[in-house]
């Protein structure tokens, strides 16, 4: 594990270590390559980060994740531009209210779009409604 005074590069970590790192973090950087797989889908890391209310810093300038973050405000896209990433991170460091609002939005986005418990309950209700009709 590599650590600076304000950044941890965890490397390969187990579930308990991941949970600890997520709890200690404010921003999850997702530096994806502009390929159809990453552009047309939501990769697994952003929802994992959102589950703990991390702001998502997305490298992609378009695609599903980009659109979702633009609409919901749970993160931002830095268009694969390190200067823009640094600018956004600096803004959140200087204006804690921006950071807090984005973290709240991220957590809400997770609940709305990715929380298995929420979606499972709706699925069960839907199946029960269908069965009840017959």
DSSP letter string over 99-113? HHHHHHHHHHHHHHH
Q: Which domain holds residue 91?
A: 2-133
pTM for this model (two decimals): 0.83
pLDDT on residue 45 = 94
Return the percent helix, strand and coil in the chain, to nearest 5.
60, 10, 30
What domain count does the chain have?
Answer: 1
On whether the CB atoms of residues 88 and 76 are closer than 8 A, the answer is yes
On whether the CB atoms of residues 86 and 63 are closer than 8 A, the answer is no
Alpha carbons 90 and 109: distance in angstroms, whole number? 23
58-69 pLDDT, tens per residue? 999 999 999 999
Alpha carbons 96 and 102: distance in angstroms, whole number? 10
In which band, very low, low, confident or very high, does the pLDDT at 1 lie, cut at 50, 70 and 90?
Answer: low
Backbone angles phi, psi at 58, to 5 degrees: -100, 130
Which residue matches tokens 């999850």?
28
pLDDT on residue 12 = 85
User: Could you tell me the two tokens for 9?
Assistant: 């590069």
As beta bridge partners, residue 30 has 58
pLDDT on residue 2 = 67
Cβ neighbours around 36 below 10 Å, total: 8
How far separated are the first and last CA of the chain, in Å rounded?
Answer: 57
Cβ neighbours around 50 below 10 Å, total: 29
Q: What is the mean pLDDT of residues 47-74?
A: 96
């Amino acid at each position: 594990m590599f650590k600076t005074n304000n950044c941890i590069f965890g490397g390969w970590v187990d579930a308990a270590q991941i949970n600890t790192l997520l709890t200690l973090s404010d921003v999850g950087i997702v530096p994806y390559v502009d390929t159809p797989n990453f552009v047309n889908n939501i990769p697994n890391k952003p929802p994992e980060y959102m589950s703990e209310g991390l702001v998502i810093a997305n490298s992609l300038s378009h695609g599903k994740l980009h659109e979702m973050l633009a609409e919901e405000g749970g993160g931002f896209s830095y268009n694969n531009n390190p200067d823009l990433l640094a600018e956004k991170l600096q803004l959140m460091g200087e204006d804690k209210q921006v950071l807090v609002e984005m973290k709240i939005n991220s957590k809400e986005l997770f609940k709305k779009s990715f929380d298995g418990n929420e979606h499972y309950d709706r699925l069960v209700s839907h199946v029960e409604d269908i069965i009840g009709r017959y």
